[in-house]
Amino acid sequence: MACALTYPLPNGVTVSLDISADGILERGHDIKIVSPDYEKGRVRPEHEPVPSSILANKAAESLLGRKERVFGVGAGKEIRKISKEFNPDLYWLHTVTWSSNAFESHMLRSKKGKILFYHTWVEKYGELYAGDAGAFLMKKRTKLLCNNMDAVMVPSGVVKEKLLEYGVRTPMHIVRTGVEPPNESFKREDLEKKFGIPKEQKILLYVGRISKEKNLMVLLDTLEYLRGKNEEVSLLLVGPGDLDKMTEEAKKRGVEKMVFCTGPLKREEVKKIYGACDVFVFPSKSETQGIVLEEAMASDIPVVALDSLIRNEIYPEGKALVAKEDSKFKEKVLEILKDKEKREDMVREAKKFVLDNFSKEEMVKKQMTIFEEVLKNKLEKNEE
């Protein structure tokens, strides 16, 4: 029985959880996915939306500009009911929040197996929204929560090392999210028709949440720089978030005609967009896994990204063009736009790297091994 507070928003957690759920079902097992109600109903038969907090939702949107939801009054009762009927062997949490939530409280009281998939670098989010105190709080909270689990999954080795620094002693397992190349891509004409982007322009593509922690002002800096170099480019932003604020900032800089925001799109449509663009740009430094980077690298589009702790594992030099500092990002974008030979070599190497290292089959296989190990240990402990 799995829980993710952002499910089914179009983000990395949802992608990872859907891949896992499909693999679990294919192997003959059952799963329930519990989340706050986003007024979308069930997005798949295994999904169980439960009451969300109207007050907390409005506060988060007003203070943080985020449309993510939390469990509300009645959620605990509903979760207990679902759990009693489903009778899971394991509880699987996919979200670390500022404080305990209804699902977390329920699973911690249970004697069943408990697993956390640590997707999000909450220390960095804490620092961004509440300074040093926020970072300290989230490190302490992460340590406490992880040490109450039977196993912790992490998407990269660097995250495992960071959790060890926090003082996490629960067994940790690296589980990389699997991706696969899209079956087909849109043509440039399709993007002109769908989003109004002139087909003669080069397109910089960003896929992800439009929010403060993604460091997106670097992309507007890049547009200003490229305009000064007489480059005809547009920036296509694909994903949910604070689109109004992004548009307002683009207007302040005089680049609003170069920016196109789609809002959230269906995953299959997003996968078709990658190959129709010229450069995938990713300025975030707070990622734990960077699924969209892997998807772009699998889709024959060159990647320009900022340096981060996950670079060596997810987008190493030679597979992507990496800027060490925010101020150098725009120069890297211009470099890859101008150098056709380098672009082609990088695309070829990047695609091979992703296909060799990010397999959906391997991802689910590792997870099933972890589930079985936790269940075995629980059984042995109960027999003592």
Position 383 scores a pLDDT of 60
Query: Domain containing 120: what range?
Result: 2-178+360-383
Residues 194 and 242 in one domain: yes
Q: Write down the pTM of the prediction.
A: 0.82
Tens of pLDDT, residues 192-207:
999 999 988 999 999 9
Q: Check whether residue 10 and residue 37 sit in a common domain.
A: yes
Same domain, 334 and 367: no
Is residue 238 in a domain? yes
Q: What CATH number is given to the structural domain containing 26?
A: 3.40.50.2000
Highest mean pLDDT among 120-124, 196-200, 209-213: 196-200
Q: Flag whether 231 is in a domain.
A: yes
What is the per-residue pLDDT for 7?
A: 94
219-244 pLDDT, tens digit each: 999 999 999 999 999 999 999 888 99
What is the distance between the alpha carbons of residues 121 and 305, in angstroms, rounded to a whole number?
A: 18
> Which tens digit of pLDDT belongs to each residue from 106-119?
999 999 999 999 99
Confirm whether 129 is domain-assigned. yes
Residues 265 and 347 in one domain: yes
Kindly report, residue by residue over 53-88, the tens digit of the pLDDT.
866 555 445 444 456 788 988 899 999 999 999 999
Query: What does the pLDDT read at residue 65?
Result: 46
Residues 279, 219: Cα–Cα separation, whole Å: 12
Is residue 103, in this structure, part of any structural domain at all? yes
What is the number of structural domains in the chain? 2
pLDDT digits (tens, 9 = 90+) for 318-364: 999 999 999 999 999 999 999 999 999 999 999 999 999 999 999 99
pLDDT tens string 133-188: 988 999 999 999 999 999 999 999 999 999 999 999 999 999 999 988 888 899 99
Same structural domain for residues 145 and 221?
A: no
293 falls within a domain: yes
Cβ-based neighbour number of residue 373 at 10 Å: 15
179: Cβ contacts below 8 Å, ≥ 6 apart: 291, 294, 295, 298, 354, 358, 360
Residue 183 in domain: no
